[in-house]
Structure 1
Amino acid sequence: MMDWTPIVFVIFKGLVLCTGMFFAIKWHYDQGKKGKEMQKGAVLRAGGKVAVLFTLSLLVLGFVTFFLSRMLGMDLTFP
Structure 2
Amino acid sequence: MDWIPIVFVTFKVLVLGTGMFFAIKWHYDRGKKAQADRQDWEKERRAVLRAAAKVTAVFMLALLALGLLTHFLMKWIGLDLAFP
TM-score by length of 1: 0.52
Structure-2 residue corresponding to 1:68: 73
C-alpha distance in structure 2 between counterparts of 1:78 and 1:45, whole Å = 39
2:59 to 33, 54, 72: 54
CA distance in 1, matches of 2:66, 2:45: 32
Q: Tell me which protein shows more helix as a share of its residues.
A: 2
Show structure 2 runs of 5+ residues with no match: 1-36
What do you get for the CA RMSD once the two structures are aligned?
1.5
Residue in structure 2 matched with residue 15 of structure 1 by the alignment: none
* Cα distance in structure 2, aligned partners of 1:66 and 1:48: 27
After the TM superposition, list the runs of 4 or more consecutive aligned residues in structure 1 that deviate by more than 2 angstroms: none
Aligned partner of residue 75 in structure 1, secondary structure: coil
Q: Deviations for 1:32-66, whole angstroms, at most 9, x for unmatched residues?
A: xxxx8561110000000000000000000000000
One-letter amino acid matched to 1:61: L
What is aligned with 1:3? none
> Percent same amino acid at aligned positions?
48
TM-score, normalised relative to structure 2: 0.49
Q: Where do 1:26-45 residues align within 5 Å?
A: 37=40, 39-45=44-50
Q: Which runs of 5+ in 1 are unaligned?
A: 1-35
> Based on CA coordinates, which of the two structures has the bigger radius of gyration?
2
Q: CA deviation at 1:70?
A: 0.1
3-state SS, counterpart of residue 59 of structure 1: helix
